[in-house]
Amino acid sequence: MQTASTPALAPPFHWRDTTGAQRRTLLAAGLGWMLDAFDVMLYSIVLATLMREFGMAEATAGLLNTLTLVASAIGSLIFGLLADGLGRRRMLSWSILLYSLFTFACGLSTSITMLAVCRFLLGLGMGGEWNTGAALVAETWPAGWRGRALGIVQSSWAIGYALAAVVADLVLAHATWRWVFFIGVFPAFLVIWIQHDVPEPVVWQHHAEAGLASVQKQQLWRAAFPRLFALLSMNIFGMFAWWGLFTWIPAYLVLPAAKGGRDFGMLGFTAFLIVLNLCGMLPGYLLFGVFADKFGRKPTLVVYLACAALAVPAFALSRQPVLLLMAGIVTAFFGTGFFTGSGILGSELFPTAIRATALGISYNTARGLSAIAPLVIGTLGETHGLAPAFGISAVAFLFAAISALWIPETKGTEMN
């Protein structure tokens, strides 16, 4: 099992010093995560349209997103086990293929039930993509640069989210909401390149060739349980806060005030989401990796989560568009950027033989357990308005910061 040490300072990060294998794995995981975000967030982008199309109340709309999150927990466990046994690259490809095809199928939906089934099935692939991609990058990049590498991967979510807003806006101007989902099939073509050009990590190949007896794996799991529980707890609270808030922000910007929204209109809505992602989420992800490599994973994580807890009330209380945007950027920076820390810590806390499975449990099981968040916020939004309901997310971020205090520091961990 890998151990944390205090190695000599890593050389300054320069892209030209990386290997071809490192660049290709980073690109594969980053594109997979970006297009995962693109496909998944298409639902949130057209949520108000779907509510009108199918006559859905806020609680029903939140429940559909909850199904996707539950499915992601199941998918992460399935794909994690398969990735530990059959390889990171192969399972990354299959997960991308799964979420792409069923995003396309969402556009064929003729009822709420059919849409729910498609959302559940794409959630399986969504859950599998993250842990397989994170394991692939973590096992290929050195400890001194791993934070930056996983920060780049995680930041691609913001690009995918912003891209979804642009594409949905363009498509809805010329076609129906169904074509928004049809566009979501394009990530499937990424699989061809991944299978051809992306290598399996050497450290995984060595473990696969050596093999481990079941009793040895049981010992690894017993030793890993305290760390797994601490990381899982932090992720549950953090993801409850994130999904409860960011699932409803698009609808919050277009629903009338009587429904608890801010009613920016479509032009302001699209611009708001693009700025929120590119000026808030993107630098939040990237800078977490830089801070984590310099100051440590744990302190950076605690600071991010605590700041997110303070930023959410400022966002919910803002009434003027400019103030709402500024508060939204700060909230997105800290409230989304902490996910980079989850990926770094999850990759370094667990040994290679169980890494993808443990990553899946710590991240996507938390996503499944936090799946009630969109439903809770939607239900509270019906009776009290969305702005007051967002206060629940602030409390959840605070509990996530407290939970992070029990996670061990992993800076300097070498994979073996």
209's CB contacts (< 8 A; 6+ apart) are none
> What are the φ and ψ backbone dihedral angles of 413, each rounded to 5 degrees?
-70, 130
- Count CA atoms within 13 Å of residue 317 on its CB side: 7
Distance CA 261, CA 267 (A): 16
- Residue by residue, what is the 3-state secondary structure of the chain? CCCCCCCCCCCCCCHHHCCHHHHHHHHHHHHHHHHHHHHHHHHHHCHHHHHHHHCCCHHHHHHHHHHHHHHHHHHHHHHHHHHHHHCHHHHHHHHHHHHHHHHHHHCCCCCHHHHHHHHHHHHHHHHHHHHHHHHHHHCCCCHHHHHHHHHHHHHHHHHHHHHHHHHHHHHHHHCCHHHHHHHHHHHHHHHHHHHHHCCCCHHHHHHHHHCCCHHHHHHHHHHHHHHHHHHHHHHHHHHHHHHHHHCCHHHHHHCCHHHCCCCCHHHHHHHHHHHHHHHHHHHHHHHHHHHHHHHCHHHHHHHHHHHHHHHHHHHHHCCCHHHHHHHHHHHHHHHHHHHHHHHHHHHHHCCHHHHHHHHHHHHHHHHHHCCHHHHHHHHHHHHHCHHHHCHHHHHHHHHHHHHHCCCCCCCCCCCC
Distance CA 344, CA 229 (A): 16
| Predicted TM-score (pTM) of this structure | 0.75
Tens-digit pLDDT profile for residues 8-55:
455 566 667 788 888 888 888 888 888 888 877 788 778 878 888 888
Low-confidence ranges of the chain (pLDDT < 70): 1-15, 209-215, 254-270, 416
Query: How much is the pLDDT for 258?
Result: 45
End-to-end CA distance of the chain: 6
CATH superfamily of 20-404: MFS general substrate transporter like domains (1.20.1250.20)
Contact 223/1 with Cβ under 8 angstroms? yes
The residue type found at 231 is L
Domain ranges of the chain: 20-404
Query: How much is the pLDDT for 13?
Result: 62
Query: How much is the pLDDT for 114?
Result: 92
- Quick one: CA torsion of 238, 242, 97, 29, rounded to 10 degrees? -60
